[in-house]
Amino acid sequence: MNEPGTAARAALPQAGQFALELNAVSRHFGALVAMADIDMTVRAGERRAVLGSNGAGKTTLFNAITGDYPPTSGRVRLFGEDVTYLPVHERIRRGLRRTYQISLLFSGLTVIENIFLACRGVGRGRHSLFRPRRDDGAMEMAETLLHAVHLDDRRDTPVAELSHGQQRQLEVALALSGAPRLILFDEPAAGLSPSERGDLVEILQSLPPHVGFILIEHDMDVALRVAERVTMMHNGRIFKQGTPDEIESDPEVQELYLGHGDNGGGRA
């Protein structure tokens, strides 16, 4: 793969060390080419930011990786395994997680029930007819995550009643459940208050080193603070890849993206 800067890590990674490998991945919606010929690798434990204006194909990239909308051509490998034709839930069980740009939560269930399901979903006993006990492993993990995203006092609140920011935090909690190895965050900071953003950055920075993530984020402060490498997308293609410094100082990037100011956030 033609990524500069791999020298930063000691040796060229072996196939097994890649969390994610995309080979010529494209996605069409009818005549619309939302994403074309994406080649991209993410090492295990790597923290990557994906930037690009609205409609650049960032969310489509995530959908292709998770299988929400599988690629129309190309191959997706997760942790060395070809998952191009695996259903979504099988990819998740292999350690992939994601959040959604627009919160997708279970509005009829409480906060703790949402998180509990996420923890149980990747474990055993999904079909248990018993109510979870307090000392159930998944329930204990759910309580920990509840605390981590600062929703302790909303534990038994139906999700429909949460504020926007709280729903975003719950999205993050769901993505941290189980034993994630690669997490895809789709604009997790959108609509958050500055203090909530701070909390989010803290959570991202405190993830264990073996947990990699890809972060779509319009807020350059957040993105460049937590990312080791940056991928810039434009019109469904990869436009630039590099370290945050390289990207920030690249004249073409300045022209195309930074020059337009913050044009993100408001779009569905």
Partner 1 sequence: MFRIERKSGRYPLGINPAALLVVVFLIAYPMFASDFFTFQVGAYPLILGTIALSLTMLAGYGGMVSIAQMTVAGFAAYIVAILGTNSVGVMGLGWPWWLTVIVAILGAALLSTFIGAISARTEGIYTIMITLAIAVAFFYFVRQNYQIFNGFTGFAGIEPPTLFGVYWRDPTPFYYLTLAIAAFFYFAVRYGSRSTFGLGLQAVRDNPRRVRALGINVFLHRVVAYFYAGIIAGTAGVLLVWFNGRVSPGIVGVDMAIDILVIAVVGGMRAPIGPFLGAIAFVLLENFAIDLIDRERFNTVIGLAFLLVVLFSPDGLLGLWRRMESRIRLPRANARWGVRANRDDWHPAGSPERM
Ligand X SMILES: Nc1ncnc2c1ncn2[C@@H]1O[C@H](COP(=O)(O)OP(=O)(O)O)[C@@H](O)[C@H]1O
Cα dist from 109 to 121, 149, 155, 189, whole Å: 15, 18, 11, 23
DSSP labels for the chain?
Answer: ---TTGGGSSSPPPGGGEEEEEEEEEEEETTEEEEEEEEEEEETT-EEEEE--TTSSHHHHHHHHHTSS--SEEEEEETTEE-TTS-HHHHHHTTEEE--SS----TTSBHHHHHHHHHHHTSS-TT--SPPPTT-HHHHHHHHHHHHTT-GGGTTSBGGGS-HHHHHHHHHHHHTSSS-SEEEEESTTTT--HHHHHHHHHHHHTS-TT-EEEEE-S-HHHHHHH-SEEEEEETTEEEEEE-HHHHHH-HHHHHHTGGG----SS--
Name 251's Cβ contacts closer than 8 Å, sequence gap at least 6: none
By the rule CB under 8 A, 126 interacts with partner 1: yes
By the rule CB under 5 A, 231 interacts with Mg ion: no
Q: Which of ligand X, partner 1, Mg ion, none lies near 60, with the C-beta cut-off 5 to 8 A by kind?
A: ligand X
Letters for 27-46 (x = contact with Mg ion by CB under 5 A, - = none) are --------------------
How many residues touch ligand X under the rule CB under 6 A: the total is 12
60 vs 167, beta carbon nearer ligand X: 60
By the rule CB under 6 A, 60 interacts with ligand X: yes
Interacting residue with partner 1 among 28, 75, 77, 93 (CB under 8 A)? 93
By the rule CB under 6 A, 58 interacts with ligand X: yes
Q: Which of ligand X, Mg ion, partner 1, none lies near 188, with the C-beta cut-off 5 to 8 A by kind?
A: none
By the rule CB under 6 A, 254 interacts with ligand X: no
Selected range binding Mg ion among 94-102, 156-164, 207-215, 246-254, rule: CB under 5 A: 94-102
Q: Which of partner 1, ligand X, Mg ion, none lies near 34, with the C-beta cut-off 5 to 8 A by kind?
A: ligand X
10 vs 130, beta carbon nearer partner 1: 130
Alpha-carbon distance of 66 to 87, in angstroms, equals 8
Task: Decide: residue 34, CB within 10 A, 0-12 exposed, 13-18 middle, 19+ buried.
Answer: buried
Interacting residue with Mg ion among 59, 99, 169, 231 (CB under 5 A)? 59
By the rule CB under 5 A, 66 interacts with Mg ion: no
Interacting residue with ligand X among 9, 24, 29, 161 (CB under 6 A)? 29
118 vs 215, beta carbon nearer partner 1: 118
By the rule CB under 8 A, 174 interacts with partner 1: yes
Binding site for ligand X (CB under 6 A): 29, 32, 34, 52, 54-60, 69
Binding site for Mg ion (CB under 5 A): 59, 101
Binding site for partner 1 (CB under 8 A): 66, 68, 87-89, 92-93, 97-98, 100, 104-109, 113-114, 116-118, 120-122, 125-132, 156, 158, 160-161, 174, 177-178
